[in-house]
Amino acid sequence: MQIKKNHIIRTALTENRSRVVNIILVLVDVLTISLAVIVSAGIRILLEPFLGGVVNWPLILNALIFYLLFNLLLAWLNGLYPGFGLAAVQEMQKVLYVVSLATIFLGVFLFLQQLGLAYSRVVFVLTWFLSTLFMMLGRFGVRNLFSKFNWWGVPMVIIGSPDNAAPVIEKLIQSRRLGYRPVYYFDPQLQSGKPIFGVFPIESKQALEELGSKSDVQHVVFTDPLEDSDSFNFHWMRDVFPNILFVLSTSPFGSLWVRTIDLHGTLTIETNYHLLNQRETIIKRIVDMLLTFFLLLVTWPLFLVIAFLIRLDSKGPILYKQKRLGQDGDFFDSYKFRTMFNNADAKLQELLETDEGAQREYQKYHKLANDPRVTGVGKLLRRYSLDELPQLINVIKGDMNLIGPRSYLPRELPVMGEYAKIILKVKPGITGWWQVMGRNATSFKDRLLLDEYYISNWSIWLDLYIMIKTVWVLIRGEGL
């Protein structure tokens, strides 16, 4: 009975449920795009006293049908159904492309039907903007929610030695939104028979062939170095598994915006470090300044409230100024709302000398979860990262970016090691990749790796994704 139950579980794991995922994504896209059109028309109604005119609801609803069809067709042609294997920023880029092209098609359709003048231009522009935003958010929500289930994604077999397969399996499990679901692994040397992170081994090459021919598994991932592939015959495998992925575990470049080139039959890879390009840096600076001025305009009343609470809670200055490492290793004064009592540095030193547990925690994370130096108001400010707001001044001064790597302390420079060379090439940010992906549970070494990833894979799309994730982190009160 137990054997039959295990067989049923294994069979379920190897099933490809892409059709179910496609249906869910189509329904979400229809709902979010329809909502975007209705909200756009609603905003135009609110503007009638100022702009005049009326909203032609019959025309808007009829046009919505064609707009939905344009979006769904273009999304399918661009691989957004089911969209497995796409990073979040790549999906965002494709969504913007699809919605923009569908909006153009809608405009051409209205023009050909001689309805362009009857269709509100405000509704037209808002529909484009809100459709892009709602469709992105809807897809993020779906992937974060349903990717927790075993039926999400395409089943894959990992091929390689246990030492090389284990980190790949772990990353695939952690990156569940990608939809690559490891269900088995195969050691070509047949030296390992133990599960890796719950993924069971395949005992023989014959069993692997049978799996490919009798199940829905169509993807394999080869994790060993490419020079080892000569000893492994891929000809039979490509007849059984139509999709083969190779992991370049020692690649020295960013992985997000890599482009492949066919050099007369030889695979060539091109990559670009956008954040080290002068033109891209100027674009980033312009975007950061515009967003910073907007945030200051919106949050200045909050500055006054926080300043009053700090003054009421404990003695000391409202702002806390601290030396940090900036671009090229130059020092700058980082501004924050004060969240600690006076003489905090002396109290930290005393605590670390008397408490071995706190010493180990600080050595690993370079911060303390239950820091006795933090004031009552300071705990609230830190939880929602409101203490970071004065760093908007640093962005205007040019010391920091709105989004970037962490701003490190001067005393942390020796611990940064070789990572300092690449991280200190750019300005630090108020928020960044490590803040939204690792947050407070991330070790110091992992923060360095995440900062290096951000610099190697930067794009405006990555910054936009980090901004969306930052808002979610702050709403949940997880802090940065």
Nearest to 375 by CA among 436, 316, 434, 427: 316
Instruction: Kindly indicate the confidence band of residue 373, based on its pLDDT and cuts at 50, 70 and 90.
Output: confident
Structural contact between residues 462 and 284, judged by C-beta atoms closer than 8 angstroms: no
| Cα–Cα distance, 480 to 409 (Å, whole number) | 16
The DSSP call for residue 154 is: E
Q: What is the pTM of this model?
A: 0.80
Instruction: Kindly indicate the confidence band of residue 348, based on its pLDDT and cuts at 50, 70 and 90.
Output: confident
Instruction: Kindly indicate the confidence band of residue 253, based on its pLDDT and cuts at 50, 70 and 90.
Output: low
Position 384 pLDDT exceeds 70: yes
| Cα–Cα distance, 109 to 106 (Å, whole number) | 5
Lowest mean pLDDT among 114-123, 235-244, 298-307, 390-399: 235-244
Mean per-residue pLDDT, 122-135: 96
Mean per-residue pLDDT, 71-88: 94
Position 2 pLDDT exceeds 70: no
Q: Write the pLDDT tens digit of every residue in 96-109.
A: 999 999 999 999 99
Q: Write the pLDDT tens digit of every residue in 154-180.
A: 999 999 888 889 999 998 998 888 999
DSSP codes, 448-475: HHHHHHHHHT--HHHHHHHHHHHHHHHH
| Cα–Cα distance, 269 to 291 (Å, whole number) | 35
Using DSSP, state whether 429 is helix, strand or coil.
strand
| Cα–Cα distance, 165 to 191 (Å, whole number) | 13
Higher pLDDT among residues 456 and 39, named by residue: 39
Lowest mean pLDDT among 24-38, 89-103, 342-356, 466-480: 342-356
Mean per-residue pLDDT, 442-450: 83
pLDDT given at position 230: 55
Q: Give me the CATH code for the 154-250 domain, please.
A: 3.40.50.720
pLDDT given at position 99: 97
Position 43 pLDDT exceeds 60: yes
pLDDT given at position 479: 59
Alpha helices in 342-459 (DSSP H): 344-354, 356-365, 376-383, 391-397, 413-416, 419-423, 433-437, 444-456
pLDDT given at position 182: 92
| Cα–Cα distance, 421 to 325 (Å, whole number) | 12
Higher pLDDT among residues 61 and 236, named by residue: 61
DSSP H or E stretch at residue 214: helix 205-214
Position 9 pLDDT exceeds 70: no
pLDDT given at position 82: 93
Q: Map tokens 């935003």 to a residue.
A: 133
Structural contact between residues 159 and 223, judged by C-beta atoms closer than 8 angstroms: yes
Q: Write the pLDDT tens digit of every residue in 393-439.
A: 999 999 999 999 989 999 899 999 889 988 998 999 999 988 888 65
Position 386 pLDDT exceeds 70: yes
Q: Where in the chain is the domain with CATH 3.40.50.720?
A: 154-250
Secondary-structure breakdown of the chain: helix, strand, coil percentages, each rounded to the nearest 5: 60, 10, 30
Position 260 pLDDT exceeds 70: yes
**Would you say how long the chain is, in residues?**
480
Output the average pLDDT for the chain.
85
Instruction: Kindly indicate the confidence band of residue 1, based on its pLDDT and cuts at 50, 70 and 90.
Output: very low
